[in-house]
Amino acid sequence: MEKHYEIVCEERVFKTPRMEGVRRTLRAEDGDEFTHTIIKSQPSVAIIVRKEGKIAFIKQLRSTTGKYYLEIPAGLLNEGEGSILDAAKREVREETGLIAKDVKLLVHGPSLLDPSKSDEDFGVAIASVCGEKKQVLDENERIDSRIIWLPENEVFSRLKEQMSTGRPFFDELFLSGHTMYALLAYNFLRN
């Protein structure tokens, strides 16, 4: 029979503007107890921006590996933002300079990409483009200003190639995991 556990203690290990690390102790009715360190996060969203049968990608440096990845725009819901769709519009604008319209949520949560490490609920949205402004990055973001537009059918053949052979997706760059998840969701759920 499945045991029911409750959080009995939570201690902050670290806090940044993006996340909080906590040491959490859980206990079952029978006294079984364990402690695990997790990352608590605001919900996030990845946005598949489409224009004329193509999908927008950005080249972004990730500090975890010190390498660039090809990604779609993504980011966290900021405090005070009305919805994940508001965050999606803002992230597209900040990371690409594109102005998103017709933003729709594609994946309806909860969608935890790695619940062993984080409680981040990861949404996927789709959008089209209605204009362009200047890219406005956060101080810790390193994103190339060039948008890479790839035809949808090519995206999915390249994704399959990266997943099945381990070869880079495009221009010696690999897709990040959140981008792969978002593209797979889009491939399954698009009309």
Q: What is the CATH number of the domain that holds 150?
A: 3.90.79.10
Provide the pLDDT confidence category of residue 4 given band limits of 50, 70 and 90: very high
- pLDDT at position 139: 83
67-125 confidence digits (pLDDT tens): 999 999 999 998 888 899 999 999 999 999 999 999 999 988 788 888 889 988 889 99
Across the range 120-144, mean pLDDT stands at 90
Provide the pLDDT confidence category of residue 1 given band limits of 50, 70 and 90: confident
Residues 91 and 36 in one domain: no
Residues 63 and 134 in one domain: yes
Across the range 147-168, mean pLDDT stands at 96
Size (the chain), residues: 191
Q: Is the peptide bond before 43 cis (omega within 30 degrees of 0)?
A: no
pTM for this one?
Answer: 0.89
Residues 113 and 182 in one domain: yes
Residue type, 12: R
pLDDT at 182 over 90: yes
Place of tokens 């948008």: 147
Residues 166 and 89 in one domain: yes
Residues 19 and 71 in one domain: no
Range of the domain at 21: 5-41
Residues 74 and 109 in one domain: yes
Residues 121 and 174 in one domain: yes
Provide the pLDDT confidence category of residue 128 given band limits of 50, 70 and 90: very high
Question: What is the residue-wise DSSP string for the chain?
Answer: -PPPEEEEEEEEEEE-SSEEEEEEEEEETTS-EEEEEEEEE--EEEEEEEETTEEEEEEEEETTTTEEEEE--EEEPPTT-S-HHHHHHHHHHHHH-EEEEEEEEEE-S--BS-TTTB--BEEEEEEEEEEE------TT--B-S--EEEEHHHHHHHHHHHHHH---SBTTBPBPHHHHHHHHHHHHH--
Residues 78 and 165 in one domain: yes
pLDDT at 186 over 80: yes
Residues 15 and 92 in one domain: no
| % of the chain residues with pLDDT over 70 | 99
pLDDT at 180 over 80: yes
Number of compact structural domains in the chain: 2
CA distances from 86 to 55, 71, 97, 103, 191 (A): 20, 20, 15, 9, 23
- pLDDT at position 191: 66
Residues 111 and 180 in one domain: yes
Q: What's the whole-number average pLDDT of the chain?
A: 93
Residues 80-86: contacts with CB within 8 Å, 24+ apart? 84/43, 84/45, 84/123, 84/125, 85/45, 85/125
Residues 35 and 51 in one domain: no
Residues 117 and 133 in one domain: yes
